[in-house]
A and B are shown apart, each in its own frame.
Chain A
Amino acid sequence: KAGVTQTPRYLIKTRGQQVTLSCSPISGHRSVSWYQQTPGQGLQFLFEYFSETQRNKGNFPGRFSGRQFSNSRSEMNVSTLELGDSALYLCASSLEAADRGAFFGQGTRLTVV
């Protein structure tokens, strides 16, 4: 079974731009969660999608948004990029919810210059 696939692996953007990251979950998994990982804050929860609906949301500004498609693939978007948005963005896939196991992709390394 293929694992969680995140694209692209690396991205460099300029302040003020927007970016879209993609996550394809494990086949059959319907829950997708997004996390931001930085040296200063560690792993922080952004949001979770299940059946195309946002089910949980962390404490991030509205510039961070996401969506999920009918095939469970998910995208997250960050608008008006700031230098502090530089981070590793991780997506985790779960069958129904993270309390049945959450499996991560390799992440997308976003650098904002």
Chain B
Amino acid sequence: GESVGLHLPTLSVQEGDNSIINCAYSNSASDYFIWYKQESGKGPQFIIDIRSNMDKRQGQRVTVLLNKTVKHLSLQIAATQPGDSAVYFCAEMGGSARQLTFGSGTQLTVLP
């Protein structure tokens, strides 16, 4: 039979623009979050992480925002480049089972 894949949200941005990728989580006990980038045929690449005692953290061209009130995480990429095209995943950890739970991912496409 036909296999049904996860429906990945997609985001297309112009090169040079800023990108914002969103992620909602459901576990109110989540206390650690990571953003990953995955290019075709490769493993997920660690981008940036944030703990629940922070609401913002910046890296090189990336910023992660955490809103615990509405259980929302976002990744902002400044001056998006063609090499940023990939699937982006958020992952969360919380509670006694210290394992990462991944979101379904967002496909980012950078247009020339």
Residues of A whose CB lies within 8 Å of any CB of B are: 4, 6, 33, 35, 39-45, 48, 55-56, 58, 90, 92, 97-99, 101-107
Contacts and interface: CB of A to CB of B under 8 A. Distances in A.
B98 A101 contact: no
The 8 closest A-B pairs by CB, nearest first: A39-B5, A104-B43, A43-B102, A99-B32, A104-B44, A106-B43, A56-B99, A107-B43
A45 to B, nearest CB: 5
A48 B99 contact: yes
Contact of B34 (A6, A48, A101): A101
Contact of A45 (B3, B51, B99): B99
B93 A99 contact: yes
Contacts of B54: none
Nearest to B4: A40
A56 B43 contact: no
A58 B97 CA distance: 10
Given A39-B3, A40-B4, A98 B46 contact: no
Contacts of A98: 32, 93, 98-100
Given A101-B49, A104-B44, A40 B6 contact: yes
Contacts of A43: 44, 89, 91, 102
Given A33-B99, A39-B5, A43-B102, A102 B46 contact: yes
B63 interface: no
B42 interface: yes
A46 B94 CA distance: 17
Contacts of B22: none
B6 A39 contact: yes
Contacts of A92: 100
Contacts of B3: 39-40
A58 B100 CA distance: 10
The interface centre, meaning the residue of B4, B44, B51, B105 with most chain A CB atoms within 10 A of its CB, is B44
A56 B4 CA distance: 29
A42 B105 contact: yes
Interface in B45-76: 45-46, 49, 51
